[in-house]
Chain A
Amino acid sequence: MPRGLVLRDRAALASMRAINAASRRTGRGSGTVAGGRVALRVSPNLLSRLSLHRAIGLVSGTNGKTTTTACLAAALASCGEVASNATGSNMLPGHVAALAATPGARRAALECDEIWLTHAIAIESPSVVVLLNLSRDQLDRTAEVRRVADAWRTSLTAYRGVCVANADDPLVVHAALEAPRVAWFAGGLAWGDDAIACPRCARGLVFSDAAWSCACGLARPELHAFPTDDGAVVDGETIVFDMALPGAFNKANGVGALLAAVRMGVDASVGARAIAALDEVAGRFSSITVGDVGARLLLAKNPAGWSALFDLVGAETAPVVVAVNARIADGLDTSWLYDVAFERLDGRRVIASGDRWRDLSARLFYAGIEHDCEPDVRAAIKRAGANGDRVEAICNYTAFAELRGVRP
């Protein structure tokens, strides 16, 4: 049992364990959210007490949270046990569950929902906060990304730890500049449409190569860490490593995690080795077999994520199954389909799938992409790979979770 807990906290944790066990037994879910929620109701200060005497790294942003958190947890594990919400329950109940599950862990890597970040910072007093990017995600729930950036900005003014922030995203820079201590990394900007107007003065930003600036003086800050062809530079030191996770965006996330780990006391080379060894994160980039067809599972949740995955699959000609649902966890609004350049699938075999295959089919039609439709994702993969080809299955959140056989 962690130090500093009061009787009420112990009662809260006991009810959480009972609920989580029941939830797993009945197959209703992985159990971390329901139990954590009840525990917080029984003991509202539980989370702040569970956070005492621990070095916590919070990871937030629209894209790459889960991968970056996994990288940070891997790097921190070189110093001992790490608490982490690996199941992706990224609001406060998920944090309670993760911290309570590993009472002896002195370090934690916690993924945090963008909206909840300000609360998590106030309650958990994290040593490091990693800010990845902000773009539109689940439009029906998070109406305006600028409001999120402004909330971050206000919260970071009084933040005493280190903010590890992506210098490539103007909205993140706008928010993080208020923090007294910032370490900047080159986290990339997969998709710029949300950030083209200057977040400070609304004038147009000027982009040149990797840098960007505005007439009002807001500009890309000097970097503390950035990826290179064969590794990264962190605080001026060159570190050679080769990540098993594919794609430039994973590399950028890995470098952000590495910089955060270094600020939490991890040796840079040791941390880099641990991050390089990760080969899948909660099923992302993993392989599955449907019948005798092999497929690579790719998760995209918003335009920036789709864009990054098109970069990843772009060089090859493997058939592509695109599966889109619009359930509550995905966001009910599918208008983002028109912010994704499906034109880039030109010349490949494409099958539209998922609950909202009709929306996808219309989108592909207007992109001029010939395609077939098969609502059932497994059947779509079988059809796409009927010639023996390996299939790229790009799915949004609940479609991905269903394919993996886990409850979203």
Chain B
Amino acid sequence: MRIVTVYPDLLGTYGDRGNGLVLRRRAALRGIDVELIEARSDGALPVADVYCIGGGEDGPQQLATERLAADGTLQRAVDGGAVVLAVCAGLQVLGRSFPGPDGSRVEGLGLCAIDTVGGAGARAVGEVVVQGPSAIGALTGFENHAGRTTRDHAQPALGEVSVGVGNGDGSDGAFAARFVGTYLHGPVLARNPRLADWLLATALGTGPLGELDDDPSQRLHDERLGAATAGRR
């Protein structure tokens, strides 16, 4: 299996390269051979089974969108069934539109039916809890973003927000059969082992992967969930 971290030089503000590391290690512990590529923005994007796209600042986010649009590999790979994890600015990039550095509307790649606008209030900063789909369960993460995201009626969210802000309408991110978009970083997969394993199983086309013994991510997940729901945000 090949996993590509997309443009860590532009989209990597919140430790998002960690998501690739998490997937590689969790796959290796199941005996699955993974090639992890951190694909910088100055080269062609490799074809892969899983793409992880992270967060970034306004200028680099727009540049990343332009390069991905010109490259075309990601859109073709998604059509061909690649699995995608998109976090924060990465989520906005894959939507239809988001605000550029000067506030004007920038076209996204349009891989999911969402639009993002600049938030009117303060940045959303802090611990988040999202009730994800049943196969994934409760998700814990940290958010730090100004944008507010709206979905088309037919575009499911990743889940309902029970602590924090997420999209800004009580939901977080976007979800499809082979696509997870979220505002949770942390990075999100290190804190949410079931999500990591769901992405791997989806890419492999297998049933759910068995749990790992003495899993540090599960321990972290349970503690963070407890801390956030206890109001220690």
Contact = CB atoms under 8 A, between A and B. Distances in A.
Contacts of B13: 136, 139
Interface in A186-208: 193, 196-197, 202, 204
A139 B186 CA distance: 11
Contacts of A362: 190-191, 216-217, 219-220
Instruction: Identify which of B15, B41, B126, B190 gathers the most chain A CB atoms within 10 Å of its CB.
Output: B15
A197 B10 contact: yes
Interface residues of A, number: 29
A202 B191 CA distance: 32
B185 A197 contact: no
Contacts of B57: 143-144, 146
Given A204-B9, A362-B220, A338 B21 contact: yes
Contacts, number: 91
A358 B220 contact: yes
Given A335-B187, A358-B220, A366 B25 contact: yes
B9 A361 contact: no
Interface string B4-18: 000011101111111
Contacts of A361: 216, 219-220
Interface string A139-151: 1100110100000
B42 A335 contact: no
Interface in A354-402: 358-359, 361-368
B14 A333 contact: yes
Contacts of A336: 14-15
Nearest to B191: A362
A386 to B, nearest CB: 23
A140 B21 contact: no
Nearest to A363: B190
A251 to B, nearest CB: 28
B142 interface: yes
Interface in B213-229: 216-217, 219-220, 223-224
Contact of A358 (B21, B22, B216): B216
B133 interface: no
A339 interface: yes
B126 A366 contact: no
Instruction: Identify which of B22, B25, B41, B216 gathers the most chain A CB atoms within 10 Å of its CB.
Output: B216
Contacts of B9: 193, 196-197, 204
A369 to B, nearest CB: 11
Contacts of B16: 335, 338
A146 B21 contact: no
Interface in B46-84: 57-60, 63
Contacts of A338: 15-18, 21, 187, 190
Interface string B114-134: 000000000101110000000
Contact of A140 (B58, B60, B144, B191): B144
A332 interface: yes
A334 B14 contact: no
A202 B63 contact: yes
A38 interface: no
A196 B9 CA distance: 7
A337 interface: yes
A233 to B, nearest CB: 33
A197 B60 contact: yes
Interface string A88-119: 00000000000000000000000000000000
A333 B164 CA distance: 14
17 contacts: A139-B13, A202-B63, A332-B127, A333-B144, A335-B185, A335-B187, A338-B16, A338-B187, A339-B12, A339-B15, A358-B223, A358-B224, A361-B219, A362-B191, A365-B217, A366-B21, A366-B25
Lowest 9 A-B CB distances belong to which pairs?
A338-B18, A338-B15, A335-B15, A362-B216, A335-B14, A358-B220, A365-B216, A361-B216, A366-B21
Interface of A: 136, 139-140, 143-144, 146, 193, 196-197, 202, 204, 332-339, 358-359, 361-368
Given A197-B10, A335-B186, A366-B21, 5 more contacts: A140-B144, A144-B58, A146-B57, A196-B9, A361-B216
